[in-house]
Structure 1
Amino acid sequence: MTPTPAAHPIIVFDAECVLCSANAQFVLTHDRSRHFRLASMQGEVGTALYHRFGMDPADPDSMIVVDGDRLLRDSDAVLSIYAGLGWPWRAVAILRRLPRPLRDPVYRLMARNRYRIFGRRETCWVPRPEHRGQLL
């Protein structure tokens, strides 16, 4: 299955990662306009999106945001999420002013060590029923 460009940006996250799942829950709670859709990299849609952009979902080096045909990764992906949530979360996007060579190494350090620092779930996180329409 190759997903086609969506009307909503798709956040592809690691549902086994405690930090990533917490961030997904944060997005679902604070995305009042339902701007984003979410897909786990362990699921069919998430796996297909990783493959579409030449990435291995079994060994990801970044979470991604897919907006139509455009791929955002690393700190650009995270900052685009906060920008899309509206105020007050949009204020975090000011970090885009920092050069990517300063932002991305910090992101990659956290991504590489996410299981060691935050833990890994035995099973993938499952959203509450009211948020299921936002998950692909």
Structure 2
Amino acid sequence: MSDSPTIILFDGVCNLCNGFVQFVLEHDAGGQFRFAALQSGAGQGLLREYGLPAPTEPDSVVLLADGRAYTHSAAALGILARLSGRWATLARVGRWFPRPLRDAVYRLIARNRYRWFGRQESCWLPTPALKARFL
């Protein structure tokens, strides 16, 4: 697993999650990340491969990197840390806060994300130019 690419699993029908994927695509100049919706066959297979439950209602972005799976605030900060510039700095600052506190805030947002940001009827589809970065 350690030779595998850095993968972000996201809720494919969540507008907030899709916006985060767009943000990462925009700031990932080196093209290091690959993406898969948690609801997709690829996403479900990766969850099984890493021993993570396949929730009926996704509640976290998942970062698969360096042979490990990161969830909740650790995933979000791990993604930011792999981006250049101020995003890596923001991740370092975020890690100053205790993980239970970070995860509590993350879970509050996750519980309310559909109400606050909306959801789509189906998973977002990448443009032909970005399709190679999606599993």
Superposed pair shares fold, TM > 0.5: yes
Matched residue, 1:95: 94
Question: What residue ranges of structure 1 are gaps of 5+ in the alignment?
Answer: none
Contact 1:51 1:57 in 2 (8 A): no
AA partner of residue 72 (structure 2): D
Counterpart secondary structure, 1:37? strand
Aligned pair count? 133
Q: Percent identity?
A: 44
Write out per-residue CA displacement over residues 2-45 of structure 1, whole angstroms, 9 at most, x where no aligned residue: xx555321100011000000101111111000111111111111
Determine the C-alpha separation between the residues in 2 that align with 1:130 and 1:111.
Answer: 30
What is the root-mean-square deviation of aligned Cα atoms in Å?
1.5
Matched residue, 1:79: 77
Aligned structure 1 segments of 4 or more residues deviating by more than 6 angstroms: none
Determine the C-alpha separation between the residues in 2 that align with 1:38 and 1:5.
Answer: 17
Say if 2:57 is the partner of 1:59: yes
Determine the C-alpha separation between the residues in 2 that align with 1:6 and 1:127.
Answer: 25
Contact 1:6 1:67 in 2 (8 A): no
Tell me the TM-score normalized by structure 1: 0.90
Determine the C-alpha separation between the residues in 1 that align with 2:113 and 2:70.
Answer: 19
